Amino acid sequence: MRRPSLRLLLAVLVALAACFAGAPAQAAVPDSPAVTYTNPIADKRADPHIFKHTDGYYYFTATVPEYDRIVLRRATTIQGLKSAPETTIWTKHASGVMGAHIWAPEIHFIDGKWYVYFAAGTTNDIWAIRMYVLEGTGANPLTAAWTEKGRIKTQWESFSLDATTFVVNGVRYLAWAQRDPSVNNNTDLYLAKMANPWTITGTPVMLSRPTHSWETVGYKVNEGPAVIQRGGKVFMTYSASATDSNYCLGMLTASASANLLSQASWSKSPVPVFASSAATGQYGPGHNSFTVSEDGKSDILVYHDRAYKDISGDPLNDPNRRTRVQKVYWNADGTPDFGIPVADGVTPQRLSSYNFPERFVRHYDYRARIEANVTPLADSQFRVVPGLAGGGTVSLESANFPGYYLRHDDFEVWLARDDGSASFAADAAFHRRAGLADSAGVSYESYNYPGRYVRHWEYLLRVQAVSTATDRADATFHAQ
């Protein structure tokens, strides 16, 4: 009786193996699907901070060019902040402290109350910048009752600004920028524990001093710290150099289990992690914060920049810094990749292969292919825009080569500049379809060769007819 049962079992196993061998690999829907926004989010708003609260609203505050008040907006979407009405919750004092240079407000919700951290000078010395805190009670901070909790006192009586607060392993910290009176710098970055939302405790530690060439253009500056955490690591971005086109982001990294109050626990990026891009027309990106997408699945970088490089006079007197957002991507080693400040308009996305999910569509020497660990990130970012040929089609525009589109040439897919011809428009236009192998994905059917789809073959993109399960898998992508 045992031998027939054994033969039957073997037959079943062989049949199952044959079935799986013939089935294409399948990729789950990405943990972080694509999100897109249209930039800018707010004109003439610098040092932006967007906080997503548990009430379903995003709260937005920023420096206004008059430097005289603190404003708030709220909306249920990030894009909705663009048209949301703005409320002034606090105005500078007519004289004395908190009477000038109202800068860089941040809004946080701590232990059931609202707190706004900001910097301010005095009417008799506008450069006597110090950090202050407002406390608000009420469910809606736009209508809350606000009281002044006073100045955050640090180790020195010196220029200090850009306070931000965060929690790691149950411990609340304050990070900020301050001038060390004994050093010929403008500002360094400091960190301390907090006794309450308006008071630090213990001895602050200096985390970073501007020493790299890109941190010392115009001024020796480390300022505007912002924290994002993932995978047991703490990442602190900060802004460096003058607030013109040289302004850029650096980053410090520490293990969440390390002693964060030890400078030795932090490593510093040797180069900027986010800087001006002449290709996309974005200059001086900086003073960022982080928020999350509406579905909670994507991290969002919030920052300001300008749409031009050259500034007349003092950059602080130029009112045209504006608030922008774009998705943060994460490298295989767990570090964030911010890419480049993308062009104005709709933000780009990435397309991962359905059957090789670690590989993304990218251009390399203008040839389109799928590849893992893409560097630079922007080579794998494309804006999905109205199709050049119209007719309900879409075209895929390169993030780092605006005006260049994916198009097929002799059924091979290349990145090429739009020459304005009807043939180019037709070759660069596609009908966006539900994924042929997964309806949660996307497939791109050629506009001028119906029935042919963008698919990878030996990792290169081509436009071909599809018939088999493998063909359909090769022609399916997930937007991220």
pLDDT tens for each residue of 5-37:
433 333 333 333 333 334 445 567 899 999 999
Q: Catalytic residue at 223?
A: yes
Which one-letter DSSP state was computed for residue 343?
Answer: P
The tokens 């403008």 sit on which residue? 186
99-128 residues labelled b (16+ CB within 10 A) or e (exposed): bbbbbbbbbbeeeeebbbbbbbbbeeeeeb
SS3 content of the chain, % helix, strand, coil (to 5): 10, 50, 40
The pLDDT assigned to 29 comes to 85
HSE-CB for 283 with a 13 A CA cutoff? 15
- Please give the structure tokens belonging to residue 168: 């790691």
Which one-letter DSSP state was computed for residue 48?
Answer: E
Q: Which residues, in sequence order, are CB contacts of 418 under 8 Å at separation 6+?
A: 388, 403, 404, 405, 424, 425, 428
At 370 the three-state DSSP class reads: strand
The pLDDT assigned to 308 comes to 98
pLDDT digit string (tens) for 159-191?
999 999 999 999 999 999 999 999 989 999 999
Please provide residue 433's backbone torsions phi and psi, each rounded to the nearest 5 degrees.
-115, 160
Contact between 70 and 61 under an 8 Å Cβ cutoff? The reply is: yes
Per-residue CA distances from 285 to 4, 182, 234, 274, 397 (Å): 73, 30, 21, 7, 22
Please provide residue 474's backbone torsions phi and psi, each rounded to the nearest 5 degrees.
-65, -20
Q: Report how far residue 92's alpha carbon sits from residue 105's, in angstroms, rounded to the nearest whole number.
A: 13
The pLDDT assigned to 219 comes to 97
Please state whether 392 falls in left (phi above 0), alpha (psi between -120 and 50) or beta: left
Q: Report how far residue 96's alpha carbon sits from residue 405's, in angstroms, rounded to the nearest whole number.
A: 57
The pLDDT assigned to 97 comes to 97
Q: Which residues, in sequence order, are CB contacts of 54 under 8 Å at separation 6+?
A: none
Catalytic option among 215, 223, 397, 427: 223
Instruction: Enumerate helices (H) and strands (E) in the chain, giving the number of each.
Output: 3, 35
Q: Catalytic residue at 371?
A: no
The pLDDT assigned to 13 comes to 38
DSSP run (H or E) holding 12: helix 2-22
The pLDDT assigned to 321 comes to 98
Other CB atoms within a 10 A radius of the CB of residue 402 amount to: 18
> At CB < 8 A and 24+ separation, what contacts does 15-24 make?
22/469, 23/469, 24/355, 24/437, 24/469, 24/470, 24/472, 24/473
The pLDDT assigned to 26 comes to 57
| Start-to-end CA span in the chain (Å) | 55
DSSP run (H or E) holding 190: strand 188-196
The pLDDT assigned to 1 comes to 28
Is there a cis peptide before residue 197, judged by omega within 30 degrees of 0? no
- Alpha-carbon torsion 354, 357, 362, 365, what sign? negative
- Please give the structure tokens belonging to residue 64: 């206004």
Q: Report how far residue 463's alpha carbon sits from residue 387's, in angstroms, rounded to the nearest whole number.
A: 17
Residue ranges, the chain, pLDDT below 50: 1-24
Q: Report how far residue 295's alpha carbon sits from residue 302's, in angstroms, rounded to the nearest whole number.
A: 17
Closest CA to 471 of 427, 463, 441: 463
Q: Report how far residue 476's alpha carbon sits from residue 194's, in angstroms, rounded to the nearest whole number.
A: 50
According to DSSP, the β-strands at 477-479 and 351-353 are: antiparallel
- Please give the structure tokens belonging to residue 153: 């006192």
